[in-house]
Amino acid sequence: MTADLQRYFDDHRANFLDGLRQLLRIPSISTLPEHQPDIRRAAELVAAELRQAGLHQVRLIEGDGNPLVYGEWLQAPGKPTLLCYGHYDVQPPDPLEEWLSPPFEPAIRGDDIFARGASDDKGQTYILIKAVQALLAVRGSLPVNVKFLIEGEEETGGRHIEAYARRNGRQIGAQAVVICDTEMFAPGLPTLCVGLRGLVYAEVEVTGARADLHSGVYGGVAPNPLQALAEILTGLKNAAGRILIPGFYDRVREPSPAERSAWARLPFDEERYREREIGSPELVGEAGRSIFERTWTRPTLEIHGIRGGWTGEGAKTVIPARATAKISMRLVPDLAPQEVFERFRGQVERLTPRGTRSQVRLLSAAEPAVVDPDNSYLRAAAAAMTEVFGAETVYIRSGGSIPIVGLFAEHAGIPSVMMGFGLPDDNLHAPNEKLHLPNFFGGLRAVARYLEMLG
Amino acid sequence: MTADLQRYFDDHRANFLDGLRQLLRIPSISTLPEHQPDIRRAAELVAAELRQAGLHQVRLIEGDGNPLVYGEWLQAPGKPTLLCYGHYDVQPPDPLEEWLSPPFEPAIRGDDIFARGASDDKGQTYILIKAVQALLAVRGSLPVNVKFLIEGEEETGGRHIEAYARRNGRQIGAQAVVICDTEMFAPGLPTLCVGLRGLVYAEVEVTGARADLHSGVYGGVAPNPLQALAEILTGLKNAAGRILIPGFYDRVREPSPAERSAWARLPFDEERYREREIGSPELVGEAGRSIFERTWTRPTLEIHGIRGGWTGEGAKTVIPARATAKISMRLVPDLAPQEVFERFRGQVERLTPRGTRSQVRLLSAAEPAVVDPDNSYLRAAAAAMTEVFGAETVYIRSGGSIPIVGLFAEHAGIPSVMMGFGLPDDNLHAPNEKLHLPNFFGGLRAVARYLEMLG
């Protein structure tokens, strides 16, 4: 990295942190309708940041869903065009009482900045914007063409960007997407993510009697939707972690021997992982599968919430008239979300006990994705990361879902380069989400070097 | 009934309804700590009513729990003493949105008064108070001695009255208890309740990981307390309604052939019951058992509520760190609450899946009870009911629990006379609770006649 660029980054540390804090203060929670005004404020702030970075044609793209924020710099003729993706929406912060500092009042403790969205994905989106700003400020131009497309619905399935990708297809006019929304395998270990699980997220509602009933008077004859849900849930996955939906595993693709042996060389201590990251008495899941397989290459089914009956203090002897459960499945290649959802719905119907009725609604879906690391965009990213962090870049997968990776591969025919600057203990989707500041500042340099190398 | 007493009731219809409405307006919900001031207001209003009725020594008895309201009239030497029991506390009104009129703004529609507590038990307690008031007002004296003991914790297990009964035992100085907290089997059919189920109400908390986790990153290895609860719940009761706790049914006493044949003569249409009272596609429960057995003489296990994870709108992909379920069992003779609770706790421990931990807390308990109908206090009650309602009195059991019935039998050695004026469709513990006004006015006359007959 040239000294002038390095000096720019050094001079702007406080300024970049202030800007990031401003973005983190907006509770742009896409799952909660009451936060729609915050969604818009966040989109407008991202647009202002893109303008400040020196991008052209900056605007909000309106459509069915939350606005996309667009910006471009296309003055490098003959050079490739890179699409820079991030998202400005965040997960809800519940349970609030477990946060050490309020989720939307960013707090720096030690080397970390704590706030909802710090790592997922405002902090990482900010890395992309500020790396481009630095190059334009110091050099007056970029080594490649860039287009920014920052969405506001990543946490709810990305309806708008999906429609956008379908509509524009190859006319998006980029040769690769760069995404900063994943993590480094370990602190100081540069990492590219080359696989993501997909998602089917559904809600199951079970109804029994017409109204809530007294469990003394009617207990013994009235159907109980909570009991019905328990029966349905244990009929979807057994205690050994195996999903019981017929045919569910038919199209699961196993990882290659090369991938498996690369993963076996990763620095990983299972006991430390259990203790530090999970904090439960034991790890669970499919016997005979490694942690990497269980979290990266095996499908899962998880219950996210159950609502029904009396959950306040003390005792209320009610048989509730209805109960709902939120359930998702993570998908691996070659499971298709629509087919999985139909199988899921069929199994819930088969499991619904007599006396009750069930309804299944699809809330969001994403395709699983794997990227072939043998392409010039990934090789350049690996080289830039290795140079900046001073260690060999490793290739991993992630158990999470980034819907646009599959979308851009399918509709625009372009690969995704997932340069991640999060860390495994960043508490994504959980209380006390954080971003490690050395990764933030390293990420700025790595993205800037990546653009230079591509140029 | 003499004409002067009848005239008193006729003249005071509007006045009694106003008084009842005043009591129903107080949200004296014993399960919710924030309603403690309302508990006290309700107790004080009941005390004022007892004074107005002409009772002596009226006072609140303070102790560990909500106050008992006491009053007495002991000027009938040589006559028996009857203990009049009721409760001024009510269940929470949730779900609020299903009430046609607000739960604490009593509304008369047709022949019914709608409010939380209308039937259970403020309206029925009020019958006892106003029947005594009428006799004292018209005759200047009562045909028997009476003591009133109105509690404020019936819906949470009756801790205070239990301590009171244990402490005072036979010194309570009464030959029988009269309770108006049950129902008539059908409109116009005078009914005495001679059996109640007991209760064990527990809360099970399951914990997994230290904090909420992202289901993408950790799904496949992190324990899920909601899945664990589903496994525990289906291990407590099977889909056929049989409780799976080892030894649970060992001490269940079957009803006598005489009881069974009396029940077979009750006017009952199972299809109408399913349609009108339950409103579910089918009735459930143990095969080969009648509705009366399933609700009166068989133990049950019901889930009242599950709390855990994300239950707001939309999709949050969280594996929650903890989840809780509220579960109760209804007990029949000769199941003992403490023994049942220990068996329950043992089974929950055995069922708790690896990777999770569970904790079981007892929230409330009540003994089951059966009363031998062959005693003079019950015979007089049956005669009074038959005279007032013009039909033969029937004997039924109830699936609900009234903790003091077992308590007074055990500690004071006295039988309970359960003259009920509720109806099967009164929506106890549910939205749109009501009391049928013809039963309210009939109840006043029946209780007054009962006291006269005992005298």
Contact (CB<8Å) B31/A241: no
Strands A318-319 and A434-436: unpaired
What is the token pair recorded at A45? 């702030």
Kindly state the percentage of chain A with pLDDT values over 90. Answer: 87
Q: Kindly report the nearest CA distance between residue A301 and chain B, in angstroms.
A: 8
Separation CA B289–CA A220 (nearest Å): 10
What is the token pair recorded at B129? 């108070």
Give pLDDT, residue B156: 83
Contact (CB<8Å) B210/A430: no
Mutate which of A29, A182, A217, A297 to test chain B, going by most B C-beta atoms within 10 A?
Answer: A217
Contact (CB<8Å) B241/A220: yes
Q: pLDDT tens digit string along B333-372? A: 999 999 999 999 999 999 999 999 999 999 989 899 999 8
Contact (CB<8Å) A284/B311: no
pLDDT class of A424 with cuts at 50, 70, 90: confident
Q: Kindly report the nearest CA distance between residue B186 and chain A, in angstroms.
A: 14
Kindly state the percentage of chain A with pLDDT values over 70. Answer: 100
Contact (CB<8Å) A233/B230: yes
Find the closest chain A residue to B296 by CA distance: A217
Contact (CB<8Å) B224/A303: yes
Question: In angstroms, how far is CA A116 from the centroid of its own chain?
Answer: 13
For chain A, counts of helices (H) and of strands (E) = 14, 18
pLDDT at A407 over 90: no
**Mean pLDDT, all residues of chain B:** 95
Sign of the CA dihedral B396, B402, B406, B408?
Answer: negative
- Pick from B32, B305, B398: which is nearest to A308 by CB? B305
Separation CA B227–CA B209 (nearest Å): 13
Averaged pLDDT, B308-329: 92
Domains of chain A, start order: 3-196+368-454 (3.40.630.10), 198-256+266-287+297-363 (3.30.70.360)
- Size (chain B), residues: 455
Task: List C-alpha distances in Å: B284 to A11, A218, A233, B142, B397.
Answer: 72, 10, 19, 48, 20
CB atoms within 10 A of CB B81: 18
Number of A/B CB contacts below 8 angstroms equals 353
Structural contact between residues B197 and B296, judged by C-beta atoms closer than 8 angstroms:
yes
For chain B, counts of helices (H) and of strands (E) = 14, 18
Contact (CB<8Å) A224/B303: yes
Structural contact between residues A219 and B299, judged by C-beta atoms closer than 8 angstroms:
no
Q: pLDDT tens digit string along A223-260? A: 999 999 999 999 999 999 999 999 999 999 999 999 99
Give me the residue label for tokens 């064990």: B200
Helical residues (DSSP H) of A265-394, grouped into ranges: 270-273, 291-292, 337-351, 376-389
Cβ contacts (< 8 Å) between A284 and chain B: which residues?
221-223, 353-355
* φ, ψ dihedrals at B93, nearest 5°: -90, -5
Mutate which of B218, B236, B328, B396 to test chain A, going by most A C-beta atoms within 10 A?
Answer: B218
Averaged pLDDT, B31-39: 95
pLDDT at A410 over 90: no
Q: Kindly report the nearest CA distance between residue A453 and chain B, in angstroms.
A: 31
Cβ contacts (< 8 Å) between A303 and chain B: which residues?
224, 226-227, 230, 309
Separation CA A180–CA A120 (nearest Å): 9
What is the three-class DSSP state of B63? Answer: strand
Mutate which of A30, A210, A215 to test chain B, going by most B C-beta atoms within 10 A?
Answer: A215
Shortest CA distance to B92 belongs to which of B78, B103, B79?
Answer: B103
Contact (CB<8Å) B283/A94: no
Contact (CB<8Å) A355/B31: no
Q: Kindly report the nearest CA distance between residue B223 and chain A, in angstroms.
A: 6
Residue-by-residue DSSP string for A247-281: TTTTTPPPPPHHHHHHHHTS---HHHHIIIII-SS
Burial class (CB in 10 A: 0-12, 13-18, 19+), A128: buried
Contact (CB<8Å) B315/A328: yes
Structural contact between residues B144 and B455, judged by C-beta atoms closer than 8 angstroms:
yes
pLDDT at B281 over 90: yes
Q: Kindly report the nearest CA distance between residue A168 and chain B, in angstroms.
A: 27
pLDDT at B402 over 90: no
Give pLDDT, residue A266: 95
Strands A198-207 and A322-331: antiparallel
What is the token pair recorded at B355? 């990777």
Residue-by-residue DSSP string for B73-95: E---TTS-EEEEEEE--B----S
pTM for the structure as a whole: 0.88
Give pLDDT, residue A190: 97
* φ, ψ dihedrals at B178, nearest 5°: -110, 130
Give pLDDT, residue A409: 87
Contact (CB<8Å) A279/B211: yes
Shortest CA distance to A402 belongs to which of A93, A87, A94?
Answer: A87
Shortest CA distance to A87 belongs to which of A148, A132, A153?
Answer: A153
Mutate which of A244, A249, A273, A316 to test chain B, going by most B C-beta atoms within 10 A?
Answer: A316
Mutate which of A302, A322, A398, A405 to test chain B, going by most B C-beta atoms within 10 A?
Answer: A302
pLDDT class of A93 with cuts at 50, 70, 90: very high
Residue-by-residue DSSP string for A51-94: HHHT-EEEEEEEESEEEEEEEEE---TTS-EEEEEEE--B----
Cβ burial B399-419 (10 Å sphere, 16+ → b, else e):
bbbbbbbbbbbebbebbbbbb
Separation CA A89–CA B13 (nearest Å): 62
Separation CA A338–CA B364 (nearest Å): 47
Separation CA B322–CA A427 (nearest Å): 16
Cβ contacts (< 8 Å) between B399 and chain A: which residues?
216-220
Structural contact between residues A351 and A232, judged by C-beta atoms closer than 8 angstroms:
yes
**Mean pLDDT, all residues of chain A:** 95
- Pick from B91, B218, B328: which is nearest to A278 by CB? B218
Q: Kindly report the nearest CA distance between residue B107 and chain A, in angstroms.
A: 20
Single-letter code of the amino acid located at A163 = A
Structural contact between residues A450 and A192, judged by C-beta atoms closer than 8 angstroms:
no
Single-letter code of the amino acid located at B136 = L
- Pick from B226, B237, B304: which is nearest to A309 by CB? B304
Task: List C-alpha distances in Å: B240 to A231, A354, B230.
Answer: 11, 10, 16
Shortest CA distance to A208 belongs to which of B240, B1, B274?
Answer: B274
Strands B318-319 and B213-214: antiparallel
pLDDT at B157 over 80: no
Find the closest chain B residue to A183 by CA distance: B217
- Which of A171-175, A294-298, B371-375 has the highest average model confidence (pLDDT)? A294-298
Contact (CB<8Å) B328/A311: no
Q: Kindly report the nearest CA distance between residue A435 and chain B, in angstroms.
A: 16
Strands A145-151 and A81-87: parallel
Separation CA A82–CA A78 (nearest Å): 13
Single-letter code of the amino acid located at A88 = Y
CB atoms within 10 A of CB B261: 9
Structural contact between residues B352 and B225, judged by C-beta atoms closer than 8 angstroms:
no
Conformation bin of residue A83: beta by default, left when phi > 0, alpha when psi is -120 to 50 = beta
Find the closest chain B residue to A294 by CA distance: B220
Averaged pLDDT, B228-251: 97
Find the closest chain B residue to A91 by CA distance: B316
Strands A145-151 and A112-114: unpaired
Cβ burial B340-368 (10 Å sphere, 16+ → b, else e):
bbebbbebbeebbbebbbbebebbbbbbb
Question: In angstroms, how far is CA A425 from the centroid of its own chain?
Answer: 15
pLDDT at B403 over 90: no
Cβ contacts (< 8 Å) between B157 and chain A: which residues?
315
* φ, ψ dihedrals at B180, nearest 5°: -110, 90
Shortest CA distance to B91 belongs to which of B344, B419, B442, B400?
Answer: B400
Across A371-380, B71-80, B228-237, least confident range: A371-380
* φ, ψ dihedrals at B89, nearest 5°: -90, 160
Structural contact between residues B394 and B381, judged by C-beta atoms closer than 8 angstroms:
no
Burial class (CB in 10 A: 0-12, 13-18, 19+), A138: middle
Contact (CB<8Å) A217/B428: yes
Burial class (CB in 10 A: 0-12, 13-18, 19+), B385: buried
Contact (CB<8Å) A314/B31: yes
Half-sphere exposure of residue B125, counting CA atoms within 13 Å on the CB side?
A: 30
- Pick from A221, A233, A357: which is nearest to B285 by CB? A221
Contact (CB<8Å) A429/B306: no
Separation CA B348–CA B356 (nearest Å): 12
- Pick from B31, B304, B432: which is nearest to A313 by CB? B31
Q: pLDDT tens digit string along A357-387? A: 999 999 989 899 999 888 999 999 999 999 9
Shortest CA distance to A363 belongs to which of A157, A207, A161?
Answer: A157
Strands A357-366 and A198-207: antiparallel
Question: In angstroms, how far is CA B32 from the centroid of its own chain?
Answer: 17
